[in-house]
Structure 1
Amino acid sequence: MSAQSTFSQTPSYRVRLSSTKEVAAEEALVYEELKRTITLLETVVKTNAKEKIPRILRTTSKLRKTLSVAQLQQAVEQLLPSQNVSKPVLLALLAKIENKAQAAVNEAQASASKDQDVEMTDASSSEVEAGTSTPATVVLPVVDLIEVEIYLFLYVLAALMKYKLNQEALETVDKVVARCQQFNRRTLDLFQAKVFTYYSNIHEQFGHDLPAIRNTLLSAHRTACLRYDEAGQATLINLLLRNYLKDNMYEQAYKFVSKTTFPESVSNNQFVRYLYYVGKIQAVQLEYTESYTKLMQSIRKAPANTAFGFRRTVYKLAIIVQLLMGEVPERNVFNQDELRKALAPYLQLTNAVRVGNLEDFNVVLSQHGAVFKADNTYTLILRLRHNVIKTGLRKISTSYSRILFTDICEKLALENAQNAEFVCAKAIRDGVIDAVIDHENGWLQLKETVNVYTTNDPQTAFQRRITFCLDVHNEAVKAMRYPPDAYKKDLESAEERLEREKQEEELAKEIEDEMDEGL
């Protein structure tokens, strides 16, 4: 048996176990798990129990780490009938994957021996014996189901991506999509959604031709809507939004969001992605309040102990949006262990915006410009320049009753006094400061500061906090999980009780009749 796993060069149990018998026993357990999964899938298709399909997909991630190429080849040979058109395609692809994996292992071993320059020990020879063991003897029954065929293709597509078999991955995923579209079966919906995820990722990673697949995704979304396939709708909406955003087509993405409705009864992961994409679109469209709300919902609903990369990405965008709203993020956001290093440039940016120092802002922008561009937040950060100037002017207005434009130019690091006058005029128009420009004398005459507690600002801020708390409460209530048809238990017990009482009455009547006849 080949020592390479479909998704790792060496299965995890080969590292943990040294005995050939132990490895063989572990391989038999892995193959038995695959058999149970296929049996469950066959039962699901026959009984139309679609609610069990997510359980099958969850076991896929576990099997990826332990299932080897040889085991997958054996499964394809045993499961698919000889007349199946996809069987030779799968076997040919698995052969290429095995060759690629073996080449990667040989290269890694050569590199290790060159670096360490040590002799092979008995332990390494036992590993070789384990790598050449025979496949498990568990026999899988022949199953002529399109669901099983697509399920096997999912393993192959993931392996093609891992080993960078670009052309094979592009050709295979196109064939699998065409194969799925030949069938109209509700038990295939979740597998088809998974296939479209691979379709988008493979074309994005290897094809780099996003407009070419956009029509296919749009057509598939229309079909999913007509078939009431909510899982397919959610997946395809997110894939289309990602496709639009990769090409910076924010206007088209905004229109697409306004014309579609995201289904409610979908997985939490899809909903979290949707919230992030919509928040990013709204941020570009200057809808900062709505964008910040969506991003914070995405952070709260995302898994707490996993998906650290996703949470880092959302936090970066949320910090920029919060700064654009004129607010300063809390310090504990930057002090989280998994975020501290990634958010270090954004902490410096926040300090520059908070102080209102345009010179520090330009320094941060020049030092970390490459990081901001890689994070795709550079365009939004450029908008913060006006916020920095406004913050500086607001601080000047609280410190001076009258100040020359030349002094404002020096304090805000502007180019000249004329620019300072223009900036002050715009700030007065926007209501940032309450002042009068004296053009003849070249200064800014500031009016007396009004006590903020005499205005409606505290009431507005308090109302905003109350609304936020109520929204969090409503979302928590909606997110509570209840067993399906739990309310029917009481109804069923009542029906059973009535049936039992009816039977008891009939039995009592029969006994009474028998007694009358006896008398």
Structure 2
Amino acid sequence: MTQDVEMKDNATTPSQSLPPPPPSTLHHLKEIASVIENGSKSNEVRRIGRAVRLTIALRKRLTASVLSSFIDYALIPGSDPHPRLSSYLPKEDDQAMETDTATSAAQTQGKQLSPELEIYCYFVVLLFLIDHKKYNEAKDCSSASIVRLKSLNSRTVDVIASRLYFYYSYSYELTGDLAEIRGNLLALHRITTLRHDELGQETLLNLLLRNYLHYNLYDQAEKLRSKAPRFEAHSNQQFCRYLLYLGQIRTIQLEYTDAKESLLQAARKAPVAARGFRIQCNKWAVIVRLLLGEIPERTVFMQGGMEKALRPYFELTNAVRIGDLELFRSVAEKYATTFSTDRTHNLIVRLRHNVIRTGLRNISISYSRILLADVAQKLRLNSANPVADAESIVAKAIRDGAIDATLDHANGWMVSKETGDIYSTNEPQSAFNSRIAFCLNMHNEAVRALRFPPNTLKEKESAEKRRERQQQEQELAKHIEEEDDDDF
């Protein structure tokens, strides 16, 4: 009896210790395809968006063999997109094909292909080509997907279409042919406007602004932005990009106050995972604040993961803060390549006058009376007649209100006036009003960003629909961060 019991226990132990095998990438793609089909049948855009977010989570696991098997599963073998998409994938000698591929392909022959699933196949193949640096094939694939999208007018396709628009422009940008698609992007923006595809309008407007700014066509970008139809933002990523491009346009147009507000708002709204985007926003914001005469706080340059990228701008800020023109020249020459890559070199040239003005302000605070020759020496003006240059600089600073002083032309002095009480002026009130306006604006944007399920007050939901909706909201909250990691 004891031996039989021991034999039974030993027999049951191995089966209980074996864990179930993890689902494969192809299995996940099939589940995403079912989500897309259910979303297209029920006309629910949120399910399509959830499918896109799940795909981004699988992006690093996509291989040619998996995508080939998925195309055989999702597309009808005799359809037009099947051989086209298969031709973009490299042929591998030892493709690890799934065991259920043949049966799945046989099942897809009897059903009709949905447009959402077809566009999704273009999307996953395009992601694979860009990740594996096959940029020429990515251009061909994205162009073919855009031709197919022009013939589709469905709101359930718009979520995937907006991603295809982005990667369509990105593939041409990687090959240096961004100017070739400008006319096509304008045509697509017109089509999406006529179809009331607001998400597509947001994406294409940002792509057109990026296209113009890439070639320094700031006037054309401003004309397009001012003439484009206005609508409420639907995507936080696209809205952040729009604020960045708007801030860059305003900076070039010398509208520094509006530019500062747009750039800082873009940096605040961007997700933490979008580090590269936030670095770009902070670079431009630092330059704009310096042009406005402000000195950014040290904490701006000490943000996590951004210290190395913002190091040149930290040294530049230090030179402007001190008002040392020689130090400013050395920093500009040291990081000239970095500033040219960031497209901020022309803005840094404008900062030379701010450096001189800051140094002059420090001199006026330190000295009640000083010779213009000493002013030229302290500012390190290297010119043929530094005293005359110092006199003109001091006169302009007095006229602009940068310093409170007078010029004694007879003796060649700059005489500073005593500093009054700032609380007797309107400066504290204006600063307080600006902070109140900022808080009210943030509150209004937060209220506008609230989203409510449709028809919650018009009809009662059944228990099953309520449970399904709660499950979708939980899954949406789970994968919302994965959406932020992709596009920046």
State the TM-score, normalized to the length of structure 2: 0.83
Amino acid at match of 2:100: T
Pair 1:328 & 2:295 matched: yes
What's the CA shift for 1:232?
0.2
Post-superposition Cα deviations, 1:437-496, rounded to whole Å, max 9, x if no partner, equal 344433323334333222212221222222222223333333344444444478999xxx
- Which residue does the alignment assign to 1:361? 328
1:178 match: 147
Matching of residue 56 in structure 1 with residue 56 in structure 2: no
Structure 1 position 134, deviation (Å): 4.4
Q: 1:491 to 1:77 in 2, by over 3 A?
A: closer
Tell me the equivalent position of 2:250.
282
Structure 2 CA distance for partners of 1:68 and 1:401, relative to 1, 3 Å: closer
Which letter does structure 2 place at the counterpart of 1:202? S
CA deviation profile, 1:28-52 (whole Å, cap 9, x unmatched): 5432222222122222222322232
Task: Look up the match of 1:426.
Answer: 396
Alpha-carbon deviation of 1:197?
A: 0.9
Match of 1:464 among 421, 434, 442: 434
Equivalent AA in structure 2 for residue 136 of structure 1:
T
**Equivalence map 1:27-66=2 (5 Å):** 29-66=24-61
Give a deviation string over 1:313-344, Cα, whole Å, max 9, x none: 11111111111111111122222231222222
Tell me the residue number matched to 1:442.
412
Which of 200, 203, 213 lines up with 2:181 in the alignment?
213
Measured in 1, the distance between the counterparts of 2:115 and 2:461 equals 39
The yes-or-no answer on 1:225 pairing with 2:220 is no
The C-alpha deviation readout for 1:254-291, integer Å capped at 9, x for no partner, is 22222224532412111111111111111111111111
Q: How far apart, in 1, do the equivalents of 2:96 and 2:72 lie?
A: 19
Give the aligned partner of residue 342 of structure 2: 375
AA partner of residue 367 (structure 2): Y
- Correspondence for 1:301: 269
For 2:79, give the aligned amino acid. N
Distance 2:232 2:34 in 1: 30
Shift of the 293–487 alpha-carbon distance from structure 1 to 2, 3 Å rule, reads farther
Match runs of 1:187-206 below 5 Å: 187-206=156-175
Q: Residue 237 of structure 1 corresponds to which residue in structure 2?
A: 205
For 1:145, the equivalent position in structure 2 comes to 114
Task: Give the residue type in structure 1 aligned to 2:400.
Answer: D
Identity of aligned residues (%): 44
Return closer, same or farther for 1:176/1:23 CA change in 2, 3 Å cut-off: farther
- Distance across 2 between alignment mates of 1:36 and 1:64: 15
1-side partners of 2:270 and 2:72: how far apart? 40
Give the whole-Å Cα distance in 1 for the aligned partners of 2:296 and 2:77. Answer: 62
What displacement does 1:218 show? 1.0
Q: CA RMSD for the aligned pairs?
A: 2.5
Query: Which consecutive residues of structure 1, in runs of 5 or more, have no partner in the other structure?
Result: 1-21, 103-130, 494-519
**2: distance between equivalents of 1:479 and 1:49?**
20
The residue aligned with 1:507 is none
Say whether 1:78 aligns with 2:78. no
TM, length-normalised to structure 1: 0.78
Aligned mates of 2:304, 2:139 — CA distance in 1: 39
What's 2:470 paired with?
A: none
**Displacement, 1:25?**
4.3
Of the structure 1 ranges 480-489 and 453-462, higher mean CA displacement relative to structure 2 is found in 480-489
The whole-number CA distance in structure 1 between the counterparts of 2:406 and 2:438 is: 37
Following TM superposition, by how much is the alpha carbon of 1:228 offset from its aligned partner in structure 2, in angstroms? 0.7
SS in 2 for 1:361: helix
Q: Secondary structure at the match of 1:444?
A: strand
Larger deviation, residues 443-452 vs 359-368: 443-452
- How far has the Cα of 1:24 moved from its partner? 11
Paired AA for residue 327 in structure 2: D
Indicate whether 1:271 and 2:236 are aligned.
no
Pairs aligned (count): 437
Matched, 1:413 2:376: no
2:285 to 318, 339, 357: 318
User: Take 1:209 and 1:297, find their aligned partners in 2: how far apart are those partners?
Assistant: 31
* Residue identity opposite 1:190 in structure 2: V
Q: Which residue of 1 aligns with 2:484?
A: none
Deviations 1:44-90 (A, max 9, x none): 22232223211111111123233432222122223322331121111
Deviation at 1:235, TM superposition (A): 0.5
Cα distance in 2 for partners of 1:372, 1:223 equals: 38
* CA deviation profile, 1:353-393 (whole Å, cap 9, x unmatched): 11111111112111112112222222212211111111111
SS at match of 1:360: helix
Aligned to 1:108: none
Q: SS at 1:441's partner residue?
A: coil
Contact 1:436 1:446 in 2 (8 A): yes
- Given that residues 31 and 136 in structure 1 are in contact (C-alpha distance below 8 angstroms), is that contact kept between their aligned partners in structure 2? no
Does 1:350 pair with 2:317?
A: yes
List gaps (5 residues or longer) in structure 2: 1-17, 464-488
CA distance in 1, matches of 2:230, 2:21: 46
**Structure possessing the higher radius of gyration over alpha carbons:** 1
Tell me the secondary structure at the aligned position of residue 383 of structure 1: helix
Match of 2:6 in 1: none
